């Protein structure tokens, strides 16, 4: 990880109020694909890691029985809670949690994450996927910055000073090692995609 968790949290606290105002086309497409592939059933519990201001968690609330959002930024969590209250959603809960320490030990059917895991190093991503798999979800849906080929160093989609994207191959191997099989791979951009992994 190129920044500490506290540094990442502080960075997102600073931008939380404006975070939703200027999202890229690729980000929005990933949100739509993560929502589509998560497809929770009415009795499912969804855990959304790196939930930010709640784009995924709130988008799944009507379909799932319960949605639990976790993030490291108090500012982002405050925005997510405010949105949930404005929409009158009572089956969504937001709180502090990390990929490798999600602060959740209940049953979970689907785990989602969008544009968050790329802050971790490759080894930390492997640990995170193993931690998520240990919760026993039937499906994991990951939208993120990831490399489908060699990224153009002169035109990175990500911020090299703070982000540490992985290759699709590394992520696929991590899911396989954790007992999951990739059932969908969606390339949004040569540096952005959505992976769907289901328990074997």
Each residue's pLDDT tens digit, 102-115: 999 999 999 999 99
**147 forms bridges with which residues in the sheet?**
167
Domain count, the chain: 1
pLDDT of 92-104, one tens digit each? Answer: 999 999 999 999 9
Structure tokens at 140: 């994991």
For residue 59, what are the CA distances in angstroms to 13, 67, 95, 171? 22, 10, 17, 25
The pTM of the whole model exceeds 0.75: yes
In this structure, what DSSP letter does residue 160 have? Answer: T
We report the CATH number of the domain holding residue 121 as: 3.40.50.150
CA–CA separation, 64 and 73 (whole Å)? 24
Of 92, 24, 2, 21, nearest to 56 by C-alpha is: 92
17 falls in which pLDDT band (50, 70, 90)?
A: low
SS3 (DSSP) at 113: strand
Note the pLDDT of residue 11: 52
The domain in which residue 185 lies consists of: 5-199
Calculate what percentage of the chain has a pLDDT beyond 90: 77
Query: Mind listing the pLDDT tens digit for each residue in 121-176?
Result: 999 999 999 999 999 999 999 999 999 988 776 777 777 777 889 999 999 999 99
d(CA 36, CA 117): 19
Task: Choose among 69, 53, 49: nearest CA to 119.
Answer: 49
Q: 13 falls in which pLDDT band (50, 70, 90)?
A: low
Question: CA dist 74 to 17, 97, 115, Å?
Answer: 11, 10, 17
The size of the chain, in residues, is 200
Burial class (CB in 10 A: 0-12, 13-18, 19+), 149: exposed
Place of tokens 């739509």: 32
Rounded to whole angstroms, how far apart are CA atoms 82 and 154? 39
pLDDT for 7 equals 60
Q: Is 157 helix (H, G, I), strand (E, B) or coil?
A: coil
At CA 129, angle to CA 119 and CA 62, rounded to 5? Answer: 90
> Residue 149: which H helix or E strand, with range?
none
- Percentage of the chain modeled with pLDDT above 70: 88
What dihedral angle (degrees, nearest 10) is formed by the CA atoms of 162, 167, 171, 172? 170
Q: 17-31, 72-86, 131-145: which range is least confident on average? A: 17-31
Q: What is the pLDDT of residue 162?
A: 73
């Amino acid at each position: 990880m190129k920044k500490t968790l506290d540094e990442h949290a502080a960075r997102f606290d600073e931008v939380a109020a404006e975070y939703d105002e200027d999202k890229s086309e690729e980000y929005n497409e990933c949100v739509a694909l993560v929502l589509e592939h998560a497809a929770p059933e009415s009795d499912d519990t969804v855990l959304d890691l790196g939930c930010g201001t709640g784009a995924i968690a709130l988008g799944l609330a009507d379909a799932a029985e319960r949605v639990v959002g976790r993030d490291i930024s108090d500012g982002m969590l405050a925005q997510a809670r405010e949105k949930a209250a404005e929409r009158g959603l009572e089956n969504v809960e937001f709180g502090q949690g990390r990929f490798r320490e999600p602060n959740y030990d209940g049953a979970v059917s689907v785990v989602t994450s969008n544009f968050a895991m790329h802050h971790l190093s490759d080894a930390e991503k492997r640990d995170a996927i193993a931690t998520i798999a240990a919760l026993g979800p039937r499906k994991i849906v990951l939208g993120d910055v990831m490399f489908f080929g060699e990224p153009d160093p002169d035109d990175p989609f990500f911020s090299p000073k703070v982000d540490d994207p992985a290759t699709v191959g590394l992520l696929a191997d991590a899911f396989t090692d954790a007992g999951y099989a990739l059932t969908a791979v969606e390339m949004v951009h040569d540096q952005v995609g959505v992976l769907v992994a289901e328990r074997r």
